[in-house]
Amino acid sequence: MRLCLLLLLAATIALSSCDGNGEPAPKKLMDGSPVREVPVELEGVDVPTASTKVLSRTRTDEPGTASSSCLHGRSRGMDATGPSIERVAVSSESVTVRESSGRGVFGCDNSLGPREEGRRWCGSAHGMLYSGHLRDPRLSIGCQTRDETPMGFVWVEPGPSATYVVVEQPGYAEVYAVAGELPVRVATTTGVEIEGSRASFDLREHAGDGRLLRAYRLEAAVAG
């Protein structure tokens, strides 16, 4: 009987660590840190969740930081004002910062895949602000996963009541915490069309207590 109970427990653990397709749920973020569960139950999300990391950095020029690397390596000397927002997800990393003029935002994208000349960042984006908001999510599709699957990055401007932005991924949900007044840079490994320079994102916005505020699909195209 004890052996049967142990086998049943092992099977339960194995099932709880896999997604609906039998694939293991993510255990680590891109920087190697362990994936953590979201602190609240997200309404309507019935797959494993992966809570991403977010850091608000007051000094964008602090040496050795992702923000400093982004601004000096991809922005070509853009004058930025803090705070910058650094994010680390399962297969992606990003930086978002506002121009000191207040008229635009700049971002850098990174992944585990190959890139030209071993550069620190595999993509970047610049968006103009109109009355404080973006008219275009500024899709970037220059990054890849480790197995060279194309990735898409966009900015999302969640509603004022949103605490979390959830991105549907293969077999799990990636959760981004809203931080400050900057748009949330998110990534997807599905729905990317390289030939059409397009990507689709299945998104959900949740309140701090986990309530679903809205669910929608964002269709984005690379700006000409």
DSSP string, 189-216: SSSEETTTTEEEEEEEEE-TTS-EEEEE
In a domain, 171, yes or no: yes
Whether residue 4 is contained in a domain is answered as no
Q: Which domain holds residue 133?
A: 24-221
| pLDDT at residue 4, as a whole number | 37
Residue 18 lies in a domain: no
Is 12 among the domain residues? Answer: no
Q: How many domains does the chain have?
A: 1
Sheet holding 140-144, edge to edge: 140-144, 150-156, 184-188
pLDDT at 77: 59
63 domain-assigned: yes
Q: Would residue 85 count as lying in a domain?
A: yes
Phi, psi of 9 (to 5 degrees): -65, -45
Is residue 140 a part of any domain in this protein? yes
Task: Report yes or no on 8 lying in a domain.
Answer: no
| Tens place of pLDDT per residue across the chain (224 aa) | 333 333 332 333 333 344 444 556 799 999 999 998 899 999 999 999 999 999 999 988 888 999 989 988 665 556 787 799 999 999 999 999 999 888 899 999 999 998 877 788 999 999 999 999 999 999 999 999 999 999 999 999 999 999 999 999 999 999 999 998 899 999 999 999 999 999 999 999 999 999 999 999 999 999 86
Please check whether residue 94 is in contact with residue 153, taking contact to mean a CB–CB distance below 8 angstroms.
yes
Nearest-angstrom CA–CA distance, 224 and 215: 28
